[in-house]
Structure 1
Amino acid sequence: MGQLTKYQKWAFVLPLIAVLIWSLNIAVTRYVADYISPVSISFYRWLVAFIILTPFMLPKVWQQRGLIRQSLGKLAIFSAFGMVLYQGLAYTAAHYTTATNMGIVNAFVPIFTIFIAYFILKDKPNLFAILGSVLSFAGLIYIISQGHLSSLLQQGGHWGDALMVVAVTFYAFYGVFLKKWQLQIPLMSSLYVQIAFALLYHLPFVLWFGLDSINASNVSSVLYAGIFPSLIAPLLWMLAVQAIGPNRTSIFMNLMPVFTAIIASLWLSEQWTIYHSIGGVMILVGIVMAQKKTVKAPARMVESAN
């Protein structure tokens, strides 16, 4: 028991590193927007991950092909929502908004999950979830409008934030579908098949828009996206869930806006303003409130989605 307790304490570092990796990826997404198209970075990201995983996972997936075949359609849906629509829209949003704002919008996954789960899983949100969601949404609107609500519809720059909201909505759907179906497939096998589908989904876009070449300006970003947020962070997250449980692990997701803002400030010279502070506090308080007495379901969403 003593060893388990020490391991559990050490395991709290795992989700912290995972969230840091995902936060840095948001900054990388914003940085690389000037050097490579959204379609290209998204395709290369999953190609790198697929190449790395293939020697280890292809034999296992072949052995499990009967089990995987039964859930092939659902795995295709997971890939479409979680890898293509979510990440593809995020890469597009990076052309029109800041990494700081992207990190803040990303924090809405638990909120959106609560309400999507209500319609799909019939998990009725309680009063805390409703009030917390309203407060968080008000904070998001305040940040998007840069503290001036009257200018919300007057500036085209808000389209990037709107795209990020749509992207996060797809990610929340991804988590809800994972909970609804609960496939009995090993997580790494599921991840590998989803990545394969993601590459197939990208082919029409690659044929239509073409691929930017990998060069000195974007190669480090491509490799980072393909290795760290795609493979290492999900593995650390899954280990943390096994060691300390999904509820405790999910709490660390609330650090993503903070980590992203710090990284964006130091690396991209983005400014943290008063409207970020006011709106950020509103969002975080709303998220904590929304999870009160309903934390179990959203936590399972985050566990599965990442």
Structure 2
Amino acid sequence: MTEHHSGSRYANYPFIGFLFPILAVAIWATNAVVSKMATATIEPGAIAFYRWFFALLLLTPFCLTTVYRQRLQIKVHLTKLTVLASLGMVLNQSLAYYAAYTTSATNIAIFLSLMPLFGLFLAVPLLGTKLRIHTLIGALISFIGLVYMLSEGNPNQLLTQGFKQGDMLMFVSSLSYALYSVLLNRWKLPLTPWCAVYCQVFLGALLQLPLLLSSETTAISLSALPMVAFAAFAASIIAPWCWLKGVTQIGAARSTLFMNLVPLFTASMSIVMLGIHPSQYHLIGGGMVLVGLTLAQMKRVPTGMLEVNSSIKPQSPSLK
């Protein structure tokens, strides 16, 4: 995405530009809690499919004309679009729904916040970028914090019991989205943003159809309907629209920093929606992760000031 700040309709109200990524992050944080709540009402394969199926229905009236105009470019890049859909839609989101059975909403959020850091490391072989010393130090701090949190404050526990299945699934989920973002930067498909999103949503729904068919229950119960609706409309359409608006208003670099708020928002939502309070190890380990992430995403500029490392532009993040 191109970053620009001048000429904005919100030029006289600069704070509004920051509200867009904050709202997007708040929606994704809520979706992490919704994923946890959904485990009691709908199978992961079912909600993973229906999320993108209903998002596809909602997007079709607005995107179909553009998709038709760009059909030749879509045909040329169909393989790459399929790879992106597999990473961003199938692996990233479906694994998160399966992970919710054996890990907490707060843990899910911590892994979501690690996506930019994973992207920085993947960009080294795929984009030829270089890692700075503060990125490595930040990564080490985040890793120590993550181990402390996942071990519930007792790192020796990991040596005897290993990681929870849900945490391992979230690791793969976050890594998949990081790879998705890096490949978008590498390939730079000649499609409009929403056309690319629409194609990926279509392919994602198609690829996840086997998950639906393999589920014991494929119908959506009345109790699950609000969760599916939130995932399809708020998390898949409203949140990415707000994110793209934020990138336009304040730039991709500063927008990325707001991803660090996901764990904080999720912990707050867990208290309100689930009645679950974060444990001490969540606060200590999660705090270390956020400190490490902030350090890893900083870069030194000629003026001696620090700004966000924007070598990896956040791409249409409709996949959280």
TM-score normalised to structure 1 length: 0.95
Structure-2 separation of matches of 1:3 and 1:192: 27
Are 1:79 and 2:93 matched, yes or no?
no
Aligned residue in 2 for 1:134: 140
Is residue 89 of structure 1 aligned with residue 103 of structure 2?
A: no
Per-residue deviation, residues 249-306 of structure 1 (Å, max 9, x unmatched): 11111110000001012211222121111111211111111112171113x0x24444
Task: Name whichever structure is richer in helix by fraction.
Answer: 1
Deviation, structure 1 residue 99: 0.4
Q: Secondary structure at the match of 1:20?
A: helix
The match for 1:9 is: 15
Q: Which residue of 2 aligns with 1:297?
A: 311
SS in 1 for 2:208: helix
Alignment of 1:213-292 (within 5 A): 213-292=219-298
The equivalent position to 1:26 in structure 2, one of 8, 12, 32, is 32
TM-aligned CA deviation for residue 220 of structure 1 = 0.5
Supply the distance in 2 between the matched residues of 1:113 and 1:305 (Cα, whole angstroms).
13
Distance 1:65 1:282 in 2: 46
Segments of structure 1 that go 5 or more residues without pairing to the other structure are: none
**The residue matched to 1:296 in structure 2 has which SS?**
coil
Report if aligned partners of 1:178, 1:305 keep a CA contact under 8 Å in 2. no
1:44 aligns with 2:50: yes
Which letter does structure 1 place at the counterpart of 2:70? Q
Q: Counterparts of 2:129 and 2:171 in 1: how far apart (Å)? A: 22
Give 1:143's aligned residue: 149
CA deviation string 1:165-201 (max 9, x = no partner): 1110001000000100111211111111001101111
Shift of 1:151: 1.1
Match of 1:191 among 177, 192, 197: 197
Aligned residue identity for 1:236: C
- Deviations 1:199-242, CA, capped at 9 Å, x for gaps: 11112333333552111110100111000010110011111111
Between stretches 49-58 and 86-95, larger displacement belongs to 49-58
Compute the RMSD of aligned alpha carbons.
1.7
Is the Cα contact below 8 Å between 2:243 and 2:316 reproduced in 1?
no
Asked whether the equivalents of residues 141 and 288 of structure 2 are also in contact (C-alpha less than 8 Å), the reply is yes
- What amino acid is the match of 1:296? S
Secondary structure (helix, strand or coil) at the match of 2:102 reads coil
Mean Cα deviation higher: 235-244 or 147-156: 147-156
Deviations 1:15-44 (A, max 9, x none): 111100000000000001111111100000
Q: TM-score, normalised by structure 2?
A: 0.91
Q: Please list every run of 5 or more consecutive structure 2 residues that lacks an aligned counterpart in the other structure.
A: 1-6, 300-307
Q: Percent identity?
A: 38
Q: What are the within-5 Å matches in structure 2 for residues 148-163 of structure 1?
A: 148-155=154-161, 158-163=164-169
C-alpha change, 1:4 and 1:20, in structure 2 (3 Å) is closer
Residue 8 of structure 1: how far off its partner (Å): 3.6
CA 1:202–1:18: 2 relative to 1, 3 Å: same
Q: 1:251 aligns to what SS in structure 2?
A: helix
- Other-structure match for 2:305: none
